[in-house]
Amino acid sequence: MSTVTAAQPPLASVRRESLLRAVAIELARFSRRNTLAAIGGFVGLLIIVVALAAPLLAPRDPLKADFRRMNKPPDAQNLLGTDQVGRDTLSRVIYGARTSLFVAFSAVILGTTVGSLWGVACGYLRGRFDLVSQRIMEILQAFPDLILAMAISMAIGTGLSAVIFAIAITRIPFGGRVIRSVALSVREMPYVEAGRASGGSALRIMALHVLPQCIAPYLVLATTHLGVAIVIEAALGFLGVGVPPPTPTWGNMLADSITALVPPWWLAFFPGLAITVTVLAFNLLGDGIRDTLDPRLSPAFLRMMAGGRRG
């Protein structure tokens, strides 16, 4: 802590360096306290890198069929085997990471952002707007996630953007609810009152005073919902209403695998393993971020509440 506050020389370059150092120190402290979360973050980052570098890493073309090598179990030539038309499973899993992560990230960012902005407006403006908005969010939450996503993607078609949109809509009420409660408490703060007293418009106060307080819960929300979004995307693909084939996604691959009478185990196993590892990584990271940013929920705090002798 002392190194962060003490190192503030006037030179811009030095300051940038100390900022980097501060970030590094913060990261190191975070990983020391939340080892699991740091591992989750590292694995998540690795998966993102794999997704971005898919063309460099994938040993073969994920779409190219090879009829001489159909349904081959894992061997030296195809490390994770091949599917019914001889496409390389490893390459498809790697390219699948691209689609799955792209859909999940876009949907979560879109849904959580819209929901959060809406929540800020609800919490700050209150009144009739809030009342009506709450009912709308209740309606959205009255549908089971996957079923709402299925209905929406059925209505607007089954392209990539339709799937993103469908998943994003199911994320809106979560952002709305949580951020609304934050905005409700922030609006009673003296500095918000001061802003109002000095004549700031509602929009200005929301943007400058309320919004910054919502960043931490927003980050927590976004990371926690990444895992959910990945599972919904995979489930949609598995049910045949997600991103249409031949685009390799983890869900599509699982759907392909059960069309066979006796599904080859490698086709059923590896895409699902990829989903599980990714979801696990993001969930662990999300838990760690929540514990750090929202101390009320951290195990350390609960332990303190539980009294020293149980620690």
Partner 1 sequence: MKKYLVRRAVYAAVTLLGVSISIFVILRVLPGDPLVAILGVEGHARMMPADRARIMADLGLSDPLPLQYVRWMRDIAAGQLGKSFFRGDTVAEMIQHRGPISAEIAVLCLMISWLAGLPVGILSAFKPNSVPDGLARAMSVLFIAIPGFWLGMLIVLALLFWFGYKSPITIVQLWQNPWQNLQIVLGPGIVLGLAQAAYIARMSRSCLLEVIGEDFVRTARAKGLKEGLVVLRHALPNALLPVITISGVLLGFVLGGSVAVEQAFGVPGLGRALVTAVIERDIVVVQNLVLLYAVIFIGVNVLVDLSYAWLDPRIRFS
Binding site for partner 1 (CB under 8 A): 135-136, 138-139, 141-147, 150-152, 154-157, 227, 231, 234-235, 238-241, 254, 257-258, 262-263, 265, 268-269, 272, 275-276, 279-280, 283-284, 287, 297, 299, 302-307, 310-311
Q: How far is the CB of 99 from partner 1 (least distance, A)?
A: 16
In the numeric block, which tokens belong to residue 198?
């000095």
**Distance from C-alpha of 282 to C-alpha of 40, rounded to nearest angstrom:** 6
Query: How far from chain centre, in Å, is Cα 71?
Result: 34
| Residues facing residue 82 across a β-bridge | 88
Closest to partner 1 by CB, 4 or 280: 280
Residue 294 and residue 217 in contact, taking contact as beta carbons nearer than 8 Å: yes
Q: Which is nearer to partner 1, 83 or 124 (CB)?
A: 83
Rounded least distance, CB 309 to partner 1, Å: 10
Question: Of the two residues 208 and 304, which places its CB atom closer to partner 1 in the complex?
Answer: 304
Token pair 């059960």 is at which residue?
258
Instruction: Please give the distance of CA 66 from its chain centroid, rounded to a whole number.
Output: 35
Beta bridge partners of 88: 82
Closer to partner 1 by Cβ: residue 76 or 142: 142
Nearer to partner 1, 15 or 135 (CB): 135
Closest to partner 1 by CB, 181 vs 276, is 276
| 72-101: burial string, b at 16+ Cβ within 10 Å, e else | bebeeebebbbbeebbbbbbbbbbbbbbbb
Smallest distance from partner 1 to CB 261, Å = 10
Min dist CB 43 to partner 1, Å, is: 12
Question: Can you read off the two tokens belonging to residue 273?
Answer: 């393993």
Q: What minimum distance in Å lies between the beta carbon of 170 and partner 1?
A: 9
258 DSSP 8-state letter: T
Tell the smallest beta-carbon distance from residue 250 to partner 1 (Å).
Answer: 9
Q: How far is CA 117 from CA 183, 190, 222, 277, 298, in A?
A: 10, 22, 14, 31, 26
In the Cβ-directed half-sphere of 22, how many Cα atoms lie within 13 Å?
Answer: 14
Q: State the Cα–Cα distance between residues 200 and 198, nearest whole angstrom.
A: 6
Question: Residue 59 or 299: which CB sits closer to partner 1?
Answer: 299
Shortest gap between Cβ of 32 and partner 1 (angstroms)? 17
- From CA 2, how far away is CA 64, in angstroms rounded? 57
Cβ nearer to partner 1, comparing 129 with 191: 129
Query: Are residues 245 and 198 in contact, defined by beta-carbon separation less than 8 angstroms?
Result: no
DSSP secondary structure code for residue 209 in this structure: I
**What is the spatial distance between Cα 233 and Cα 239, in angstroms, rounded to a whole number?**
10
* Smallest distance from partner 1 to CB 203, Å: 28
